Structure 1
Amino acid sequence: MGRPSPIRPHLLLVLLLGVLRSDAGTVRTELVTPDFAASYLLFIDTLGVFLRSSSGAFEAAVHGPAGQQDRYYLAVLHAPSGTCVWAANRAAPITDRAAPFRLSSAGVSAEDANGTVVWSTPPFASPVAALRLADSGNLALLDGQNGTLWQSFDRPTDSLVSSQRLPAGGFLASAVSASDLAEGDYSLNVTAADAVLTWMGSSLYWRLSNDAISIKDREGTVAYMAVNGTGLYLLAADDTVIVQATMPPAGLRIVQLGVDGKLQISSFASANSSSSPMDGGIVAPSRGCALPLSCGALGLCTPDGNASICTCPPPFPTAHDDGCAPSVGSTLLPDGYCGGRSATSYLSLGSGIAYYANKFSPPAMAGSNASSCQALCSSNCSCLGYLYDSSSLSCYLAQHQLASFINTNASNGAGMSGYIKVQSSPRSSSDSSSSNKTLIAILLPTIIAFLLVVVVGAFVIASRRRKDEQRVGRRASRSRDVQLRRQRSPGSASAHLVRDLDNDDDGDDDIVIPGLPTRFTHDEIEAMTNSYRTKIGAGGFGAVYKGELPDGSLVAVKKIEGVGTQGKREFMTEIAVIGNIHHVNLVRLRGFCTEGHRRLLVYEYMNRGSLDRPLFRPAGPLLEWKERVDIAIGAARGLAYLHFGCNQRIIHCDVKPENILLADGGQVKIADFGLAKFLTPEQSGLFTTMRGTRGYLAPEWLTNTAITDRTDVYGFGMVLLELVHGRKNRSEHVSDGGGEDSNSSNGTAGGSSRGGRNDYFPLVALEGHEGGRYAELADPRLEGRVVGKEVERMVKVALCCLHEDPHTRPSMAVVAGMLEGTMELGEPRAQALGFLRLYGRGFAGPSEGNVMKQAMVGDRTRSETTMTTMSGWPSYMSSSQLSGAR
């Protein structure tokens, strides 16, 4: 007979916490230290896993069960099988994949998208020194002396693993569903005498001591339940066995209470063995009809060996997902119903009927007849039905919520009969029939006369209006409402918006977008902007004005000018994108206006404007290094949310400093979604017309390659280099001959190996990386006020983003993690950045530019019309064309 192994004390920590803190690996091993944060978005490439036990058997993760994107939990997973064995915040899941779990010296906490703490560990007397995931699957908070402040084994959810104990008075609670880990209706309770399964808090349907797999060794008080390599045990305080269920030897066992109320015991050869469990697993109760809802509410379960067959009893013939429904004319009474205007009656289920709870529940009444049993149920507000056993003269009540019944005609339950309480009309059927006949006799002549008047009147009116209808018919056919329904997927909303608008000539005043931001009238826009008095920006699309809403909040009003077909499309795309998504790093759309040819968008006001202003303009305050790092991280998070946080991936297509907005308090937000494109979950890429801004366009725009979210990654890499350097990556004053305007202020500070003539900073950054000269790449205006390691990190991340092959670029989630230092820093691939040398040579002179053109075309065999100029962009496209209809 096997005994459970006692829990050993924690081993002493042998790694220096300071070393662990500096480790920026994608997934840590065994320990993480305070000032650590993990979100699903930050660890999306590892499906949320951020910590592994030393053997790799268990993983700590930000877990989104069943692949859904609405609920995330701090969880412990059995790595080989993917089984979730523990979850921290069952009642308070995080609803945003970018919201973090944070480890601090005070403990672990979970935040929502607004930064509000929704779950945390309790306060401790000592500061937390580390979070440790043991090979047993126990997640523990340790103090500086390696003492345990808090551990997951003391707070089980729906599972136990080998070496874990569940004390008397403790319980496991099932999850609501595979995707919702909140506590469900089933629980496994350890009592002083047994381990039992209950439904709805009190209805017992299984006992370990009654199961065929168990043996009761002796009488005694149960102190705890444990599972180990030899079986499942109920043990006394001195570790002697009271009840045991022995099983074949196994290295690891997981006891889990399923969402259906079944207790599943899975066995594995070892803790880190393959995901396939060993034979000999146990499911309790073993017979399907023993479960409360084996056939849903009111269903009739017929045993068929260990399987079951579900039917509906004759009084409840209609089957649905949750069980069986009464026939027409019968209504089940709600729980707690006590009288009222309608009387109650009882529908018989027939004989040979049992109830799941009868096996373990004493009768409500004994030694009585059926009439006494019915009277007992009628006097009990919570009684929904009763079962009468004529052989023992016993009565059992079904209370609070009805479950499945069991067909026992083939067994020894033939003496049991079932009855269900229903609501019936107090009037007799004969009275009802008489009343109906009288009512028909009175109303029928009146109805006939009224119908005749209506028909004659309608004929006269139709004759008079026929000519008018023919005259205005064509106009009426052109007039229609464009209803744009807000959907959860921004991609779908955008598709409907753009398609409906393209089919509309000028009937824009009728655009209705239910659920999207406020639609303002033009008079309201004029009032909030004081007749467009304060202009705060302008671009190819038009101008931006400062405004104020009636509630006092400031807004920025974007006035779209020169609206053509493309302008309409961009306008509606922007509404669809911004109106359907909300993220701390995405600008919020407060409303819009469409009247006639007027198109206006109302945004939240970002008082520091766009990033290009403080970054590129000599006047005004200089962006300090920490600000630049924070801006890079915030923008990366916003783009990562677009790519991974929505049902459909959103490709921004125009990532540049002008579309990154800043505000006091370190706010960073991505803006301007007029050129955005959408990818459905089935799409890996798409083909579309060229869009974006010269200097930030990825190479795939020029090579007829499908566009993916990695196209935005390229543009972000260019922005990163500009944040490092403090100037544009390329001069805006390069002539066709390759010479640089002497008045350009965007030249490279520091030069390059090309003799200082190279004005293409990505090439300078590549050469600086190859030579390890990262400090030289920083903005000289900072005068050395930078962190060398952070400059190196930003340059490396930027160069990884600029890989020519989109498939070798990191995702934006990984980029954000690398910038934050929570993910392993990638190493740029020299062979993937060779094209930067060709682009860079375009600034040196015509001869080298021609060489670059030939190389760019090369094996791609593109036509002469798509040959590139020395700056690497199509010579036949202007900057405004590349930027789209701005």
Structure 2
Amino acid sequence: MDIENNPWFQLPLLLLCFCLCICPSLGADTIAANETLSGDQTLVSSGGDFKLGFFRPGNSSFWYVGILYNKVSVPTVAWVANGEKPIFDRFSAQLKISDGNLVIVNGSQSPVWSTNLTSPGSSSVKAVLGDNGNFALMDGLNSSQIIWQSFDHPSNTWLPGAKLGINKRTNTSQLLTSFKNEEDAAPGLFSVQLQPSSEYYLWWKMTEHYWTSGPWDPKAKIFSLVPDMLRNYIYNFSYVDNENESYFTYSVDNTSILSRFIMDFSGQVQQLTWLEGTKQWNLFWSQPRQMCEVYGFCGPFGVCSESTDNFCQCLHGFTQTSPNEWNLSDRSGGCSRTTNLNCGNNTAVNSQKDRFHTLSYMNPPGDPQTPDVGSEKQCEAACLDNCNCTAYAYEGSICSIWMGDLFNVQQYNPGDSNGKTLYLRLAASEVPDSPKKNNTVIIAGSVGAAAVAALLVIVLLGAWRWRSRGGRTKSAEGSLLAFGYRDLQAATKNFSERLGGGGFGSVFKGTLPDSTIVAVKKLESVSQGEKQFRTEVSTIGTIQHVNLVRLRGFCSEGNKKLLVYDYMQNGSIDAHLFSQESKILDWNTRYQIALGTARGLTYLHEKCRDCIIHCDIKPENILLDTEFCPKVADFGLAKLMGREFSRVLTTMRGTRGYLAPEWITGVAITAKADVYSYGMMLFEFVSGRRNSEQSGDGKVHFFPTWAAKKLTEGGDLLELLDPRLGRDADMEELTRMCRVACWCVQDEERDRPPMGQVVQILEGVLDVNMPRVPRSLQVLADNQEQIVFFTESSSSGQSSQAKSNTSTASSQSKSTTSMNSNTEAGMSWGHFD
């Protein structure tokens, strides 16, 4: 039989050729000039990292053409083409090349979106989806010639390799603009854009900027107001400024790390990394730090509070303008009056003048008008006489009034000394009636007497309560006490003496009825603070160790969450290491602090029923008592791990500059994450300065790299020492600490010692051999253009000799820890006589 002429054989071949010619095959990365993409068809980049097709966010009924991550289990959009014009039917719509342009057409073939190129080039163009997430329109005859690319037109996401800057020739910018909300990919209110002054602004409606990166510092190679860039070991940032363009870009050395910057619809610019272990995007960096710093975050007549779950509420007398949008975390529509003002309608029957509702502990909006009046009554009248006036404040003989919508009102916590009183204008029916002023003298006297009697009873009951509390504090030694909020308010004199603070709240000094001085941590962010509160109480409330801060009790009354600790007279170690005004800690004190801290961590990791990973070891969290005995503190980020498990999955937590590499890669962590942070802190104990800092000449100094090279190359370790110590240190202890620090910050977990053996090394029970320079530090050492090390002259002129207590006899009696570069996992640690 003639197979070639057999129609039954030819028909399948014809169909196959037809499909190959006009249909993009599933998984292909290219659309040619005669091909279309529709319905469920997708393009997939050559390496499989990205896909392009029709998608709809959340429960939206609208469809968009966009680029999504292909290997991420959570649908994540990297770019959107038709954000302003979504489509309703993806099967009738098409993405295709027409007249040299990429276009999206709907079912009636009307264009929805186009690249709008006026000179598109040849008719043989093609569009290719790259493995970097860039969708590029290219000349088919010259594949290296890019005619148009999505990297030049980002939506809300900035990918590695893309530019974010200004084209000086065309006077155009690449800027990120947020989506409207989680179900609407239309451009939102917030944008990030490079300015001609070489700094980035965050904009609200491109009219109000509320955060700046500060200008680019070419010597330090950072933006002046983003010091976190000094402590970054994962990303390579570069800034280019020439006659044609100015832009900022970044790359990631480890291609297994998925990273992106986004302009979030919350108004924050965020850096996120994908954690495969937890199957979620983890927030690595964000600005502004506080949500209430975002301009217009809660919309008109919304009030922002860091102490509420969703940050935003409506002012008294107002309701949500769009509850559905609020449910999608979009509060930009703000709030509307429940009752209209009577101003301008006072001739109506039974009309009442508008009145003012008192709002205490507020941060009022900026830019008020300041009429020249002489009293608070006149200030109130000035607002009442103007129908556009919506609020006033009077403080220190200064009258402030606000016209129109109120934006950026912030609610502080009661007792906050920064809080001011704001008077909000409402319809009379929205303001509770105040007592009538025409009461008789007899009634007034009776009420006054009753009030005095009631006040006396309250005072007596309060005193009795305080005495009883004090008795229980003494008798309940070793157990946690449940304090009342008013008790702690009185103990801290209304939270007047602030000792410090962090991401979750402030710490105040207080005195209990038995004269015991305590430190009271007041959690200020309920959304995160509630979780932190439970973690801290359940973690540290059940353990006792001389090198762990003692939790005496707590308060939990609604949103009021407080923790009561022993007061540490000498504060945290950072105040002594990095401040030029504090007393210099001698070498012996530093060494004992390092040893005590290691003992506290050993107890957490190895002695408790469950292994407790602290997750935020840094000098700020090591407190010192009157004898400078160290106490590990702040367990709000701690993670408990049962002894039957070797690892635990958790979201990224901690402080940049002390984070172990495994946090970034997303693998399940072990207690070795604390070991890494401890090692980074040891370097600071030695040098008496931050590991990363900028000197007066604008150069960036990174101490651990210089210390590791000095150690491994046999240099003078006294050059590493804090110059304020005058080279006065025990040489054996200094060598021991430097070696331990270097082993603790090894890239691989298996190469780091457990804390129990760190204690033995610092105690002199075990010897430890020479470490190798970790790869992450070596990369910095090899890239002198990015970083400059401390010079040996930084401590020259210090002529005091070091003390040497080396003992041959004692060293012969010690075991030796062997850690060679080819050591197998698990063999480096734990095999000792």
TM-score clears 0.5:
no
Taking structure 1 as the reference length, the TM-score comes to 0.34
Taking structure 2 as the reference length, the TM-score comes to 0.36
